[in-house]
A and B are shown apart, each in its own frame.
Chain A
């Protein structure tokens, strides 16, 4: 019997798992996918918002304001890339300036520090590549950029090191209410647990409906993005640039990433398909045409990838966080759309306190380790450090990904860690081979080879991403050839 079972290993589920791992509890974190962070967490704008945007009084406003200042500590403990680069909402006309004024006032009401209205000339000084047509904007100094999936992966790893069990490929199909506990029926069998936390993202309504009446629905709201090559990031725009928000979202943005790329997007489209993460011609064209307003000089010829993600848009319009009325011990953390990532540390803290209110007898662990061992980033070492590392472990002397300069040592390390990578995309999300300009054309075969070797699989069994995404279908007619043999 688990004390707590968390359904969904996105940033919310992993954050709650990590916070709960401070206590003497038996905790299970499960996900229907084959890796951590495969929903909204892996495809979003990668921004920690200042907190001026959400309507005062909503949970979104509350948790964003509380969450934003918590990132410095957590990212330091878990060695997650995070930079407070600031953000700008830009105005092109007087109507936009009215919006800017409203956002400023809301920022004050929401208790957001360091928000100010700037003149067009001040913004142009900050951002030389920005459109000349900008007349002013709202600057939020505390906004930041982060590696969202790296955060979730780091949280899960740290949670596991503190005793949390992770069960992937585990889909909850039904929930049975028993006296004082729950039985989750999954494709992997039954799971008995005293408490359940529903962080199932886009599927949170479905999970809720297994124990209670339908009280909300989650609509997938798709957002598409371009990713530009390294060198077009902070050098092109040093802050995150928003256009004025619309009904559907915060508007098209230009966001430098923590790895030196540039994200451009997202559009916002309500769809039916909860797996509908395809990009569309119309969506990408819209982003291209709209973003050009912020800067006429965006080098779209340096685009290296496009992607789409789904926001979990709740019918209530706000985060849904709390115990289900007719299911004691079953807590929904649902509808965590933007600013969900920014709110995640505060949401986790709140949910843990909520749980501790209703349960007694759980003490803090004495040996909780908040720190995650920093993964070695070979290229960040100085010359001597590089040499010493290669002498210690020669796998750090082999560059596998030439675009991002990632060594075999880093790749093997990320496979071996708790909750480690088991797929090509899993490695890409953790240490970036394949995330560069050649998109894995060169390193792909080497990654397959390393995964097969480390996981003791045949290359045909190695997956690109989800189950069924095998890259190779079998040996050629000639069978295996040795290198260089014809």
Chain B
């Protein structure tokens, strides 16, 4: 049996930031477990820049951003194991894991930080009809082949879904000499960041077809083409709008799903909207001493926010180990009002908030000239005017602690039209 104070499961940006912050908060005995061949997670395949604008005030590539944290982790002497898979975690915080060097390991720890990230939604999950040839890949898998393995996946591509990875891969494929015929998005708005629409599609004259989807796939062995159709407001394909695109590659960027198999086995309570664990202000799950951060909790669009959120998990995991977390009598719930899809954290113990409460959220539709209102129970405590809000861009609000009464039951965030 190996003993640690804190074990971090997942060595991507979330796990790295959490481990480093836990050390800064005085915990010596920390282990980071990573299933891939190196630390850094998906950042290692994101060779484009645009990372770190909030965190470092400069534009870094994914690997550069990861390297800063990996260096810091190594300089601090924090233990980590790569190529290591966690097989099982029980609610007494015993972990079973394997790798080729250590064999089968049993690890006992005082606190766990879950930072396993997310996976991509697949063609299967969407049940897109048609044949099942080679040449259909999730955008992230194509990104791995191209950026890490050094192999091209096709010559003529169509992309379904306007998630950020799909947009970035549209540009990447173009730069590698492939022709990208277009991006179809079933919703009437893009799922990705505006800057990616501009820099990855518009700059390369790649058309974005909003309210369109793929209705059929052709090709026996290798993909030969896709049928694309416009959809109505119920997302049902409209007859007569079908158009065929001859292509050998179809990339899917149709959403990310937090990877919570370990969390589910543990019996941690999940939020059906985020598909991640319900967490409190300390990023602690419904099992005491088990924390979660990053894309395993909710899918972020900027790694900078992952880092920030994960620092909180690391800091409070350290406090937990030292017995410094305050257990409040009064549990405040966050409540998604009109226009708000979800809010993280879902639970707040006001005693543990330092100066201000930060809430992450996503809106349910595109809104322009709208007011974002925050209520403590029924009283408005803050409101902000917003020019535009998109479901593809995560919103956050900071509420100063002195504005939050201590005896409330819920904090509601909602959208109200200007003038109402």
Contacts and interface: CB of A to CB of B under 8 A. Distances in A.
Contact of A479 (B37, B129, B150): B150
B221 A476 contact: no
A306 B217 CA distance: 13
A476 B176 contact: yes
A383 interface: yes
Residue among B40, B106, B129, B217 having the largest count of chain A Cβ atoms under 10 Å: B129
Contacts of B215: 281
A371 to B, nearest CB: 29
B190 to A, nearest CB: 22
Residue among B101, B152, B237 having the largest count of chain A Cβ atoms under 10 Å: B152
B98 interface: yes
A279 B104 contact: no
Contacts of B64: 486
A192 interface: no
Residue among B135, B141, B248 having the largest count of chain A Cβ atoms under 10 Å: B141
Interface in A256-306: 275, 277-281, 283-284, 303-306
Interface string B79-108: 000010101000000001011111110100
A470 B134 contact: yes
B149 A449 contact: yes
Given A304-B125, A402-B35, A442 B100 contact: no
Contact of A390 (B100, B106, B123, B222): B100
A477 B178 CA distance: 11
A404 to B, nearest CB: 11
Contact of B120 (A441, A460, A472): A441
Interface string A370-395: 00000000010001101100110011
A460 B151 CA distance: 8
A275 B220 contact: yes
A473 interface: yes
A476 B103 contact: no
Interface string B213-225: 0011100111000
A466 interface: yes
Contacts of A405: 85, 87
Interface in B109-149: 119-120, 122-125, 127, 129-135, 137-138, 140-141, 144-149
Contacts of B61: 486
Given A306-B129, A472-B151, A483-B148, A398 B119 contact: no
Contacts of B101: 394, 397
B150 A438 contact: no
B100 A391 contact: no
A298 B137 CA distance: 27
A459 B134 CA distance: 14
A465 interface: yes
A475 interface: yes
Given A306-B129, A307-B132, A473-B153, A399 B98 contact: yes
Contacts of B130: 278-279
A481 B143 CA distance: 13
Given A441-B141, A469-B221, A483-B37, A284 B129 contact: yes
Nearest to B61: A486
Contacts of A399: 35, 85, 98
A374 B47 CA distance: 44
A182 to B, nearest CB: 30
B154 A473 contact: yes
Interface in A231-268: none
Contacts of A383: 96, 104, 106
Interface in B25-43: 35, 37-38, 40
Residue among A386, A441, A442, A460 having the largest count of chain B Cβ atoms under 10 Å: A441
A479 B248 CA distance: 21
A278 B128 CA distance: 10
Contacts of B135: 471
B155 interface: yes
Contacts of A384: 104
A278 B38 contact: no
Nearest to A408: B100
Nearest to B140: A441
Contacts of A438: 119-120, 122
A477 B157 CA distance: 17
A441 B98 contact: no
Given A279-B130, A468-B222, A480 B125 contact: no
Interface in A437-452: 437-442, 444-445, 449
B35 A305 contact: no
A226 interface: yes
A468 B100 contact: no
A466 B150 contact: no
A278 B96 CA distance: 42
A439 B222 contact: no
> Which range holds the interface residue count of chain B?
35 or more
Contacts of A275: 220
A99 to B, nearest CB: 30
B63 interface: yes
Nearest to B215: A281
A478 B149 CA distance: 11
A251 to B, nearest CB: 21
Given A278-B131, A466-B221, A469-B134, A397 B98 contact: yes
Nearest to B131: A278
A464 B147 contact: no
A478 B248 CA distance: 21
A425 to B, nearest CB: 9
Nearest to B85: A399
A189 interface: no
B123 A439 contact: yes
B223 to A, nearest CB: 10
Contacts of B400: none
A32 to B, nearest CB: 14
A460 B98 CA distance: 31
A474 interface: yes
A57 interface: no
A459 to B, nearest CB: 6
B177 interface: yes
Nearest to B135: A471
A439 B38 CA distance: 23
Contacts of B100: 390, 394-395, 397-398
Nearest to A449: B149
B87 A473 contact: no
Given A226-B127, A306-B124, A306-B127, A464 B104 contact: no
A387 B103 contact: yes
Given A306-B124, A484-B44, A463 B134 contact: yes
A466 B220 contact: yes
A46 interface: no
Residue among B96, B122, B127 having the largest count of chain A Cβ atoms under 10 Å: B127
Interface in A390-416: 390-391, 394-395, 397-399, 402, 405
Contacts of B144: 445
A405 B145 CA distance: 22
Interface string B32-68: 0001011010001001000000000000010110000
Contacts of B104: 383-384, 386-387, 390
B152 A475 contact: yes
Which A-B residue pairs are the 4 nearest by beta carbons?
A397-B100, A305-B124, A387-B104, A468-B221
23 contacts: A275-B220, A278-B129, A283-B129, A303-B124, A303-B125, A306-B129, A383-B104, A386-B103, A397-B98, A398-B99, A437-B122, A439-B122, A439-B123, A441-B122, A464-B133, A464-B134, A466-B221, A468-B221, A469-B134, A473-B151, A475-B151, A476-B151, A480-B149
Interface of A: 226-227, 275, 277-281, 283-284, 303-307, 379, 383-384, 386-387, 390-391, 394-395, 397-399, 402, 405, 437-442, 444-445, 449, 459-460, 463-481, 483-484, 486
Given A307-B132, A467-B221, 11 more contacts: A227-B124, A278-B130, A390-B103, A437-B122, A441-B140, A442-B119, A469-B222, A472-B145, A473-B155, A475-B152, A480-B150
